[in-house]
Amino acid sequence: MTLVLTASVLETLADMPATIAAVEHAFAAIAEGGACQPAPTSLHLPSSDGRFILMSGLGDAEGLAGVKLLADIPANRDAGLPTQRSSIVLSDQQTGECLALLDGRVPTRVRTAAASAVASKYLARPNSSTLGLIGAGALAVAHVEAMLSVLPIDTVVVWSRSAATVEAFRAKISHLPVKVVAAGAIRDVVEAADVLCTLTPSVEPLVRGEWFLPGLHVNAVGARPRPTHREIDSEGMARSSLFVDSIATVTEKSGDLLMAVSDGAVAVGDIRGELGQVVAGQVPGRRDDADITLFNSVGIGMQDVAVGRLLYDAAVQRGLGVRVDMAG
């Protein structure tokens, strides 16, 4: 039987600390050979700007194979529809049974923030107390929740094009023990932050490397999975010690990296390592307190497998979701 889990059900099951631990383990497993993480497949035709991206993973610890189909359709914005939608299929590693079908919105949001938290745990200065956010939507809320699990964050400096979005963000995290400062400019956020998270679907770079101060850690998260979209300019990439979730993934669909390579600012060989290698102790992370580190987070299938295992188990334990006999 296949368990179908909708977004509303998944909202009740999400557990950020557990997701961070699961994602951290998944990163290490990739480096140590306990998980298979292939490069993504991007499907597109000249007839539209839409892309359909297959993200997969297979993990021994999770006992699952998983595939997410991500539809990235910018034109949906004009129709008032979500520009990204996704679904995740989880299959039993031993029997191949289709265990679950999950709406992808909640798992993607939670595991993305969890990946940033893992990167910050290993790459940011341990005493980092100010979190900077470029963007103030649902992903920003998730990032505050995640960072509080790994660092002594007491201040959040946030920028958005919309003052109303910032006020909504402030209300959504009012229960958390942080001071919120609304910045008037992106530069103000960058220069105030110990940890900076860029969370916008920007095409042109919003963040300039000339603003980076010694000791900064950056999680570059928001750009769409396209080789021509980026949030960080080439100087920012060149000034940073670069770490990625997957070299195969970023060289396929990270505009932050590929456009900096095209500009001659960096080379793929400048990547210091994958995050899983840092977690597993195979590659050193931050060199010293003055080092500027950057985690290029594009998203990988094993993150979905890791959070999928948690959500599926929680749903089974609580008797939630709808069971469907797919073979019937």
- Distance between start and end Cα atoms, the chain: 9
DSSP label at residue 290: T
Catalytic residue among 68, 121, 179, 253: 68
DSSP code string of 138-156:
HHHHHHHHHHTTTS---EE
User: By three-state DSSP, how is residue 64 classified?
Assistant: strand
User: By three-state DSSP, how is residue 42 classified?
Assistant: strand
8 A C-beta contact, residue 35 and residue 64: no
Instruction: Say how far apart CA 123 and CA 117 lie, in whole Å.
Output: 10
Measured N-to-C along each axis, helices 163-172 and 138-147 cross at an angle, to the nearest 10 degrees, of: 40
Residue 283, burial from CB neighbour count under 10 angstroms (0-12, 13-18, 19+): middle
Alpha helices in the chain (DSSP H): 7-13, 16-32, 105-123, 138-147, 163-172, 186-192, 234-239, 247-253, 255-262, 275-279, 301-318
| Residue from 252, 249, 246 nearest 227 by CA | 252
Half-sphere exposure of 249 (CA within 13 A, CB side): 25
121 flagged as catalytic: no
CA 197 to chain centre: 10
Locus of tokens 């987070």: 297
Residues involved in catalysis: 68
